[in-house]
Amino acid sequence: MSTTPITFPEGFLWGAATAAYQIEGAAHTGGRKDSIWDTFARVPGAVADAHNGDVACDHYHRSGQDVELMKSLNLKAYRFSTSWARCMPDGRTPNPEGIAFYSRLVDELLAAGITPWLTLYHWDLPQALEDEGGWANRETATLFAAYAAVMHEALGDRVRIWTTLNEPWCSAFLGYAAGVHAPGRQEPAAALAAAHHLLLGHGLAAAELRRLDPQASLGITLNLTVADPADPNSAEDQDAARRIDGMHNRIFLDPLFRGEYPADVLADIAGLGFETVVHDGDLAIISTPLDLLGVNYYQGEALTKTAARAEKADQPETVTTTAQAAPESAERPAPTPFVSADGVHSVPRGLPVTGMGWEVQPEGLLRLLTRLQREYTGPAGIPLYMTENGAAYPDVPDADGFVNDQDRLAFFDVHLRAVRDAIDAGADVRGYLAWSLLDNFEWAYGYHQRFGLVRVDYETLERIPKASGLWYAKVAASNALPSSRAVAHVA
């Protein structure tokens, strides 16, 4: 057995990621007004135990402490999001005090030798814009580009990596079709409109940022799945996998990289008015060239349309494996977010699962990255970055608050090995940003699911690195994995 560490390419970027609403708190401080998540969290039954992000991890008041924590973990990059509701509370008017918070954060990161990676939108649309139709309203895309310009004016002299959107699939389909994310609407046609307007907003913002700063690195982050037929020999299951791949992956990848929506997806959604949403010239804007693609991966899924197999699996209509659906305690009926995939079910495969019930499938990441390289980013000549990957487990702290989270540690280990395998197979992957730096507000699950490398005591707000965080710090410092794989129940 080799005892040689598994090294990553020179310059490989190691970091961690968070999102504004999940960690900042200070919900009504410094001129910030409600986002759609503030409003959604007040809806009875929408979020487990009526949790909200009013305080969260109080990162707004503790950013300096958190940056020092990042430095102690040897992070070279920090992917954070700016809150549109903090920076432009009405969606249109800059709020200098809110913007100043992010300026201070960027300065703190740079002083610590950490690269700031800014995501403009991680789901916190100003409620004022949702009142005007939200992402189902075409004007929101134009306003998003104006927001991008405001943030670049404030931070563009120091921020060199910009992500426009995080996981537009979740924003559109969990928010406007299934209703399990903010704004909680269950309108399939509005969800499709939102998906297109999110992409249009991305394209408009990317073009504006490119105009303002030709040297900036611009990208978008997609949460992507690996859709397999539960029975590869079943035509029904093959169609189930095609539909989910279409409505989860290709509905975003194809417009971005090929300037068109997939023909089969358009056929699947015929009759929902999508053709009236897409205007001449939109796809040319959406396919504005990028400098990188961010990939968020948690697991793939085996899919069926065969009633007997679905009944045996005792599964509801599939929601998603890579996005947070509503926990049982939220008690809100949720239709499928896949508006063209009624009757498609996700079938468990006997794999180990995380605390979210998500299957642990690192080989799916290998297949995903090599597919992206082959079909999308390779032909476009741009690199891939893992912008989220991680796991929730039922952490049990000891008397000192330390969490010996060997399951999470092993999850990171096997997925990082899959990344290295993908690189060996030709995928141009240049960095890995763990999800997440801190335990935080986990959307409809409230504070019940913990993904952090660092434990947050929600009563005292004390931060204590977990075993996985200490392990990750060593990996980041050495740019290498230990020769022996970590062992837990994630094989």
Q: Where are the alpha helices (DSSP H) in 213-343?
A: 235-244, 251-258, 263-268, 274-277, 282-286, 307-313
The end-to-end CA distance of the chain, in Å, is 18
Is residue 415 within 8 A of residue 370, CB to CB? The reply is no
Is residue 75 within 8 A of residue 114, CB to CB? The reply is yes
Distance (Å, whole) CA 396 – CA 405? 8
The backbone region for 401, taken as left when phi is positive above 0, alpha when psi lies in -120 to 50, beta otherwise, is left
Q: Tell me which residue has tokens 């993904």.
A: 451
What three-state secondary structure class fits 304? strand
Distance (Å, whole) CA 436 – CA 19? 9
Report which secondary-structure segment, H or E, holds 164. Answer: strand 161-166
Report which secondary-structure segment, H or E, holds 79. Answer: strand 77-81
The CA-based dihedral angle spanning residues 397, 400, 406, 412, taken in that order and rounded to the nearest 10 degrees: 100
Structure tokens at 308: 């007997």
Q: What backbone phi and psi angles, to 5 degrees, belong to 191?
A: -65, -45
Distance (Å, whole) CA 378 – CA 259? 16
Distance (Å, whole) CA 279 – CA 300? 33
Which residue is catalytic, options 24, 130, 167, 208? 167
Q: Is 167 a catalytic residue?
A: yes
Q: DSSP for 391-403?
A: ------B-TTS-B
Those residues whose C-beta lies under 8 Å from the C-beta of residue 208, and which sit 6 or more positions away, are 145, 148, 149, 152
- List the Cα angle 335/336/338 in 5-degree steps: 145
Nearest to 434 by CA among 478, 394, 467, 386: 386
Those residues whose C-beta lies under 8 Å from the C-beta of residue 462, and which sit 6 or more positions away, are 401, 456
How far does CA 55 lie from the centroid of its chain? 21
Distance (Å, whole) CA 289 – CA 286? 9
Report which secondary-structure segment, H or E, holds 145. Answer: helix 139-155
Q: DSSP for 7-40?
A: E--TT-EEEEE--HHHH---TTSTT---BHHHHH
Could you give the residue numbers annotated as active site?
167, 388
